[in-house]
Amino acid sequence: MSSIQIDRLSKTFPNGRRALQAVSLMVEPGEMVGLIGASGSGKSTLIRAIAGLTPIDDGAATPDEESAIRLFGQPMQRRGAIARTARTLRARVGVIFQQFNLVPRLSVLTNVSLGLLGRVPPLRAVFGRFTFGEKQRAMRALTRVGIAQHALKRGSELSGGQQQRAAIARALVQGAEFIVGFPENRLLNSASIKRVLQNTSLTCCCGGSEMFKRRQIRCMRQNGHLRTLWKLAAANSHLI
């Protein structure tokens, strides 16, 4: 069963601008897929659609031609509507936004522990009360991305790269089976990718600009981490 299956995905904004047209792709468990394209080619739109944050166009002439996004065999979106299963699926998807969305005044450890909000009792979640075992889980995730030594710092004290690693650690604590985002893929240019992906079937889908250097792509392919690349152009996509 594929982690992600996208069939004939199109997206048109209210102003009439078409960001994506008939995009189809499949991502297998454990794959790391790079979405390469110029600014405005639809990378962020596709990523948000996969995560169920942006509705797609209907555009189906017949049931056999419907547009759909399926995660783990279950529909996230179909024919222009977010599916009822979307809320359950989102718990299995970790989204890394460009802003990383860390709470500046909270410690890095607490920020990472917030990945458990969907899995702990509501009252504990509201007050941020995490058990010793849950904090240990957060520390293991921080160790995995290489910033355990910054666990007690405030989120605002981290550099941009460290904030991204903290956001990835939060997704790991969440128990995400699929991570989507990695804007501009600073992580892909770091040795920490080996720690994040080793001994795991984690599936990743990340977006990068045309400035994503060919040398970096070649390096990732040689190391066996980046197995598939999709290039997005205006209203089109193809495998490279």
Q: Is 232 strand, coil or helix?
A: strand
Tokens of 87: 């809320």
For residues 63 and 135, membership in a common domain is answered with no
What is the token pair recorded at 114? 């917030």
* Number of folded domains that form the chain: 2
In the numeric block, the tokens 């909000």 are attached to: 117
pTM of this structure: 0.74
Structural domain contains residue 78: yes
Element (H, E) at 59: none
Within a domain: residue 53? Answer: yes
Within this chain, do residues 67 and 83 fall inside the same structural domain, yes or no? Answer: yes
Of 164, 196, 212, give the one whose Cα is nearest residue 34. 212
Residue 185 lies in a domain: no
Q: Is 157 within a domain?
A: yes
Q: Are residues 147 and 212 in the same domain?
A: no
- Looking at 176, 196, 225, the residue that finishes a domain is 176
pLDDT for residue 155: 93
pLDDT tens-place values along the chain, 240 residues long: 788 899 988 888 888 888 888 888 888 887 777 777 777 778 888 888 888 888 998 865 555 667 899 999 899 998 888 888 888 888 888 888 777 889 999 999 999 999 888 778 878 877 778 999 999 999 999 998 889 999 999 999 998 888 888 988 998 898 888 888 754 545 444 455 556 665 555 666 666 655 454 545 555 555 555 555 555 554 444 444
In Å, what is the CA distance from 178 to each residue of 3, 90, 91, 192?
8, 10, 10, 18
pLDDT of residue 138: 95
Centre a 10 Å sphere on the Cβ of residue 127 and count the other Cβ atoms it contains: 7
Same domain (yes/no): 6, 20: yes
Residues 120 and 152 occupy one common structural domain: yes
pLDDT of residue 133: 93
Q: Which pLDDT does position 240 carry in this prediction?
A: 41
Report the CATH number that the domain containing residue 31 is assigned in CATH.
3.40.50.300
Residue 198 domain-assigned (yes or no): no
Which pLDDT belongs to residue 189?
A: 47
Does residue 144 belong to any structural domain of this protein?
Answer: yes
pLDDT at 149: 96
Domain residue limits at 1: 1-87+204-240
Contact (Cβ atoms closer than 8 angstroms) between residue 196 and residue 169: no
* Long-range contact set of residues 235-238: C-beta below 8 Å, sequence gap at least 24: 235/18, 235/20, 235/21, 236/21, 237/20, 237/23, 237/24, 237/25
Instruction: Mark whether 41 and 77 lie in a shared domain.
Output: yes
Residue 215 within any structural domain of the chain = yes
- What confidence score (pLDDT) does residue 188 get? 46
Last residue in a domain, options 176, 192, 224: 176
CA distances from 64 to 8, 68, 82, 89, 160 (A): 11, 11, 19, 24, 45
